Structure 1
Amino acid sequence: MKNYHILLLAICLFLSSCATASYFGDTLATPTTNVDVYYSAHDVKKDYKVIGHLTCPNTGQDRVTKALIAKAKAIGADAIIITGNTVDDSGKVASDVVNADVLHYN
């Protein structure tokens, strides 16, 4: 029975370490296969519209980036701008969440 509890704990820890992005915004009819990644709106050289916003628990840069891209593809986005961490009203950075704007090219 003790091994069962250890296995259950290991599975829970594994699942909680996976990054899952949350989305608020418009979803386009067709998923995309490629999503451009930017870190500043100044770097985007195409005309675009922000169609929504993503948030993702900060579980490491690679995991977060992959989760944001996967969610953006599923909703039909052309690109994302990773804007960084959430800052509260006092100016304190909440390093446990990463935000991104979701773009559709015009």
Structure 2
Amino acid sequence: MKNLYLLVTAFCLLLTACVQPGKYVGAKYPKTKTADVYHSAAEVKRHYKVIGKLTNRKYLDKENDHVMMMDAKRAGGDAVIILGVDSTITGKPNRMVAEVVKYED
């Protein structure tokens, strides 16, 4: 059982090492400790302003949320609104697009 645990841990570390940070264009703020993840602007119940746009490779859905959230925190965002896969913006297939937002209250 211990060997299985070590194998799973090593595999997870290998996967996270392969994830590259996304490309962020926008205002930079001090890094935040937490960032919320939304899949639609209608889900956000607080006043906010968009501070930038983030593009990243498409991973598994759960991993997409985590990667986008981590990149939003690095940019100083309080939340990220994942817009989905959009190759018209990036010019490349399998790219996720998101808006990084800062709460105003």
TM range (shorter): 0.7 to 0.9
Give the number of equivalent residue pairs: 89
Q: Which runs of 5+ in 1 are unaligned?
A: 1-13
* Aligned pairs (5 A) from 1:1-106: 17-28=18-29, 30-88=30-88, 96-106=94-104
Work out whether residues 87 and 95 of structure 2, in 8 Å CA contact, stay in contact via their aligned partners in 1.
Answer: no
Work out whether residues 19 and 64 of structure 1, in 8 Å CA contact, stay in contact via their aligned partners in 2.
Answer: no
The one-letter code of the counterpart of 1:42 is A
**CA distance, structure 1, for counterparts of residue 102 and residue 16 of structure 2:** 31
- TM-score under structure 1 length normalisation: 0.72
Give the aligned CA root-mean-square deviation in angstroms.
Answer: 2.4
Instruction: Write the deviation string for residues 36-94 of structure 1: whole angstroms up to 9, x where unpaired.
Output: 111111111111000000111112223322221111111110001000010539xxxx7
Work out whether residues 57 and 97 of structure 1, in 8 Å CA contact, stay in contact via their aligned partners in 2.
Answer: yes
State percent identity of aligned pairs: 32
- TM-score under structure 2 length normalisation: 0.73
Bigger helix fraction? 2
Q: Which runs of 5+ in 2 are unaligned?
A: 1-14
* SS in structure 2 at match of 1:59: coil
Bigger strand fraction? 1
**CA distance, structure 2, for counterparts of residue 61 and residue 15 of structure 1:** 15
